[in-house]
Every structure is written in C-alpha cells, then in structure tokens.
Amino acid sequence: MKLDRAIVAVALGALLSACGGDGGGGDAAPSISNLRYTPTSELQLPGESTTITGTVDFVDSGGNVVEMHLSTSAGNSLTLPLSLSGVANGTLTGSFTVALDQIGQTSFEIWLQDSAGQVSNRLGGTFDVFVNETVPRWRNAPGQAELGRLLGTNGLNGLAWDGKKYVFAGSNVIVRSTDLVSWELQWTDSILNSIAWSGTSFVAVGSTAVGSTGDGHRAVMMHSSDGLTWSTMTTIDQCPVVPPGTLPPINFSCEYRAGLSKVIWAGSQFVAVGREKVPGVGTFALILTSPDGLSWTQQAKEALPVGADIDVYGMGLASVAWSGSRFVAVGRATDGSAALWTSLDALSWSPGTLPSMPPAQQFTLRDVVWGHGQFVAAGWGGTLPPIAVRSSATLASSDGTSWQLNTSALPLSVLNAVGVGPTRYLLVSTAESSTSTDGRNWSTRVDASTPGNGVLWDGVRWIGVGSNQVRISP
C-alpha cells in the first residue's frame, strides 16, 4: 500500500474540555475506537489509485492531541499534525490515497499522540487489491519497445506460459521471456500459428514452404523442453520426387499444402489440427496426436472434408478444445461456412450440428475453448467470401453437441481468439475485446491496440499477442 496523501478533519462530538486542554492535572493518554472506512478492496489497475475514507472516535482528557499516525505492513508511514487544543472528544474524519499497482492485502494501523508524548491505543484494518480480469485496458509489455525492434515486421500468433516463462510463436520466430522485459529470439523457417505447454514440454505448430516456388507447404511441429532449444518435425509433403544427386527444376512446384493452426495439451497427449490439401484427392482436416510432442500420428486421414484455400482465412480446422471427456474442433466446411467436429478420443471424429442460420448470416469459426463448464466458440459472420460486411459470432455449449448461437449482435469485428480467466471468458479481435461470465452476454471495450491473434490468463493478468506486439491487461 503506497500512501500518496492524507487529509484529516475534526467533527466535534460533545464539546471542548472544560479545563481547556492544557495537559495538566489528570492528563491521560488519548484513546480511539470505532474505526470505519471504505472501500476495503479494489481491483488491480496499475498506474491508478483509490482514496480510502474513514472515521474514528477519540477521547482525550487533556485536550492536547497534536498528531495522528498511520503505518502499513508495506513499510509506509504517515504523520499528520492536528489542531485539537482544548478538544476532549470527537470524531476524526480522514482519507488517504493508495496505489493499485500490486495485487495483495495490506494491513494498516492508526493511533494518536498528544503534546506530552503519550500515544493512544492502535486500531487496524486491511485493504485488498484483487486480481482484475475485466480487461479495463490493454498496455504494452514493459519491454515492448525492444521486442518491436527485434521482431521488425515478424508477427506473433500464439503464446504459452509454464508458470515461470512465456514462449511466443510467430512468423519465422519463437520468443522466450521470463519477465516481459527482456527477450530471447529463435529464428525459424516456419510460420508458427500456435503453441502449447504440457507440463514438461512446449510444442509449436504451423507450416513451412516446399518447392522452389514456395507454393507447397508441409505441416510443422516443433518441440522444446525449455522454450529455447527446439527440434523440428514435418509431415510428408507428397511433392514430386527429385532423383538423388539431381537438383529440382528451377520452377519446381508442389500442389500439396498442409498447415496446423492450433495445438493443445489434452491431459495425456498433444492434439494439433489444421488442413491438408492432397493433390487430385481433395482438402481434408489434418489431425495429429502425440504423447510427447516428438512422435506424431495422423488421425482420421482424408476422412473429414473441409474448406479449401478460398481465402486467407481458410484453415480447415482452425482450433480445438478438450473438456476432459470430449474434443471439439471448429473451422470451415467445404461450402465455406462454419462447421465443427467432435471426438471422445481425438482418433475418431464426427461432424457436429450448428444452429440453423439464413445464408446471409453464415459465418466461420476461428477459435474454441473449454472453461467454466462449457465450450465457447467464436468467429465472424457475414456472406461468404469476398466478405462485404462482417459481424461477430459466438456460440456456447455445455456438452459440445447442443449449441446456442448468441443472436444479440456484438459491436465486434473479426473474432480471432478466445481465452478463459478465473471467472470469465475473453474474446479479442484486431480492434476490440469483449468479456463474459456466462459465454452468452458480453461487455465490449473498443481499443485500437487490442492483441488480436491470441490471449491467455497467466494467473495474474491477461497476456495477448498481435502483430509484433505483446500486450498485458490490466
């Protein structure tokens, strides 16, 4: 508790001392009682403060109180001169301002002292600064200026937290930081879209180019135990075979395109989802599982047709979540509209059913999470590409099979990511963020600097990424 200022006033109770308060005769130490104050708590908001106002009753037979003292468990102290000559009793009303930077409880004590050096009894109270997950505002990470310089135009797409360090995955780069002040960068030749922590390992997923023209893509899976040293695995690309000892043609190309958009840890295995375009066959969901992030198995191979590369938003399966008993994957169907799939084991998958919508209100789903007893999925709505007008779209389900479409329009644009905090969900787009305690009713805050690519709750605050930025809230 940082004390910024204090103001004390006197409300006279019964009267002035008949003796005039000269400290003679039976002068006794003052006493205080009945401490009342408000507020007793606030939510954390770095850089802001609140004013605590309180009252305390006092009795002083000598009528010679000259000081009020206040001290806190944080080591702060304050001494306030008082003009109470001749005042034998009354009520003191005062206020002091405390900073809201740090989460935690601070205790404080107050007492009086008279001109003879005698001190009163002490009365104490506590003030709490609680975790704030309401997203009152976003601000740069402390080391953002240096991070922006290091990244240049390379953007960040996903993030993970192991309890001690943050690891961020993005376009040709992985970034590690323990304090969001200093950064360690590892450059890669892959576009990484997502990263997850299992308790022992990090796994980042995305895609890497194939062929001399770079038009083909393999899915890539990267593994690390410390977020700094990485090993890389890729899917088999099915590109034309180049004979040993020969160079590929100058215009060597490949129509095979595979990429992973999301990876999660599901208790005993990593599950990664994305899309695979197989030349001459079609475009299918790409689902990979691994018990350790090193050995991967493709599931439901060429079994789930998904949306093709119709625009930059198409990722087949865009995201996956696990409830502890069921998986839900969301993305885009073959006709370009939103779709979802469910599984009990991540091995066998079945198409799910979404609420019916008029064609003009079709939408795609970009992310899904599990938390507080339900799945929450989000994306954007509008006509099929090219999109002329976009609006947000959210759905919720307690079992992953029956879904409720939130028909009330949110003033949000493209919803890219969903996070789960202690008591609420957080949606982010490229320009706004929205929170909800039930997954259906949302409160929105417009902020042009919102991290629109990914968010997580680290136990104390929200961490988000967007472009070449790391943002925090509060």
Q: Tell me what the mean pLDDT of segment 24-47 comes to.
A: 90
* Tens digit of each residue's pLDDT (9 = 90 or more) over 359-405: 545 567 889 999 999 999 988 765 444 444 455 678 899 999 999 87
The encoded tokens of residue 448 equal 């042009």
Burial 153-173 (b: 16+ CB within 10 A, else e): ebbbbbbbebeebbbbbbbbb
State yes or no: pLDDT of 116 exceeds 60: yes
Mean per-residue pLDDT over the chain, rounded = 85
Task: Report the alpha-carbon distance of residue 460 to residue 146 in Å, rounded.
Answer: 23
Q: Tell me what the mean pLDDT of segment 432-456 comes to.
A: 82
Identify whether the C-beta of residue 77 lies closer than 8 Å to the C-beta of residue 96.
Answer: no
State yes or no: pLDDT of 412 exceeds 50: no
- Which residue type does 416 have? N
- The per-type count for the chain, helices as H runs and strands as E runs, is 1, 35
Assign a CATH topology to domain 3-130: Immunoglobulin-like (2.60.40)
Q: Residue 394: name the closest of 376, 369, 411 by CA.
A: 376
Q: Tell me what the mean pLDDT of segment 100-113 comes to.
A: 94
Q: Residue 214: its pLDDT value, please?
A: 57
* Tens digit of each residue's pLDDT (9 = 90 or more) over 278-298: 888 889 999 999 999 999 999
How would you classify residue 302: left for phi > 0, otherwise alpha for psi between -120 and 50, otherwise beta?
left
State yes or no: pLDDT of 472 exceeds 60: yes
State yes or no: pLDDT of 182 exceeds 50: yes
* Comparison of pLDDT for 243 and 229, the residue scoring more: 229
pTM score = 0.85
Task: Report the alpha-carbon distance of residue 438 to residue 86 in Å, rounded.
Answer: 59
Q: Which one is the CATH code of 139-473: 3.40.50.300, 3.40.1640.10, 2.120.10.80, 3.30.390.10?
A: 2.120.10.80
Q: Residue 240: its pLDDT value, please?
A: 59
For the chain, which residues make up each domain, given as ranges? 3-130, 139-473
Task: Report the alpha-carbon distance of residue 209 to residue 53 in Å, rounded.
Answer: 63
* Tens digit of each residue's pLDDT (9 = 90 or more) over 245-267: 655 555 556 778 899 999 999 99
